[in-house]
Amino acid sequence: MCGNLLETRDLRVEVNGVPILGGVDLEFKPGLVYAILGPNASGKSTLAKTVMGLPEYKITGGDILYNNESILRKTITERAQLGIAYAFQTPPSISGVKLDDFICRICPDYQCKAESDTLMGETCASKSELYDNFERLGIRNLAKRDLNDGFSGGESKRSELFQVLSMRPKIMFLDEPDSGLDYDSLKVVGRELRALREKGDTTLVIISHHRYVLEFLEVDKVYILQQGRLVYTGDMNDIPALEEKGYEKFLEEVTG
Ligand SMILES: Nc1ncnc2c1ncn2[C@@H]1O[C@H](COP(=O)(O)OP(=O)(O)O)[C@@H](O)[C@H]1O
Ligand SMILES: [Mg+2]
């Protein structure tokens, strides 16, 4: 318990009256990198969305602690202010909100000078740094587009990553940050996450099936969920066997 940035204790969650998580205990320590794996529909996204506080995910038991204090009564905004961030598996699009303007609003380094100012590019002190970051992520062309509106799969994943990175969170849940990415985009995402790991002041929780990103990041701990429960805790050494055998056979062997 001691030394955890975030933990879930016997977390039980239902959606529309259907139980999804059946008592999950997970621990996340500061600065480490975690992978949450598991077959489709095992509750990985549900877990991350529940930690973030999305309203349709109803907690029916257990607790979520951040720095040893329950956050169950906190709103999404309050959780984000504490330093928790979630990058969606499928990022929602928001018409009328420009990506660069949005980044300006959420990033502590890019504060706009006036509340009424929507043309942040013209007034933001750190304009050039902001645009350097757009370039680095290969999405400079998206800066003036509406948030995720008509973005390709790979573009929306990189835009989503940029948004979450801009919030400077203490712990980020990245829900399949590599899905739908071509090799070049995968490298970009891998490089960004690796740089974050090397800095060491952010806890990364990666939901992914992609060996490349997990190996590139040197994940410290692997949690496997199945049917809404934590069924296995391991590390990177398990990945080759998992890949070879598939979840069913791997779990059968390790859990008996
Ligand atoms: N908003 C929702 N409405 C209805 N069912 C949901 C909702 N979110 C998740 N579920 C269901 O919960 C189960 C777990 O889903 P999810 O957490 O997305 O799994 P994973 O991310 O592991 O693939 C699935 O059966 C899914 O259909
Ligand atoms: Mg999912």
Q: Which ligand is nearest to the CA of 54?
A: 1
What's the rounded mean pLDDT across residues 178-196?
89
pLDDT of residue 234: 96
Q: Is position 66 within any domain?
A: yes
pLDDT of 123 > 70? The answer is: no
- Of 126 and 102, the structure prediction assigns the larger pLDDT to 102
pLDDT of residue 176: 94
150 contacts 142 by C-beta, under 8 angstroms? no
- pLDDT band of residue 153 (cuts 50, 70, 90) is confident
Q: Is position 83 within any domain?
A: yes
Q: Report how many domains make up the chain.
A: 1
Of 121, 91, 116, whose CA–CA distance to 104 is shortest?
121
Q: Is position 10 within any domain?
A: yes
pLDDT of residue 249: 95
Domain that holds residue 22: 6-93+170-255
CB of residue 16 inside a 6 A radius of ligand 1: yes
Quote the pTM value.
0.91
Q: Give the angle subtended at the CA of 110 by the CAs of 109 and 114, to the nearest 5°.
A: 130
Residue whose CA is at the smallest distance from ligand 1 atom 9 = 46
- Of 186 and 204, the structure prediction assigns the larger pLDDT to 204
11-35 pLDDT tens trace:
999 999 999 999 999 999 999 999 9
196-235 pLDDT tens trace:
999 999 999 999 887 888 888 899 999 999 999 999 999 9
Residue whose CA is at the smallest distance from ligand 1 atom 27 = 41
Buried b (16+ CB within 10 A) or exposed e, 178-212: beebeeebbebbbebbbebbeeeebbbbbbbbbee
- pLDDT band of residue 126 (cuts 50, 70, 90) is low
pLDDT of 122 > 60? The answer is: no
As a whole number, the mean pLDDT across the chain is 88
Distance between Cα 71 and ligand 2 center (Å): 23
pLDDT of 127 > 70? The answer is: no
Distance between Cα 77 and ligand 1 center (Å): 23
Q: Kindly report the CATH number assigned to the domain that includes residue 46.
A: 3.40.50.300
d(CA 221, CA 235): 5
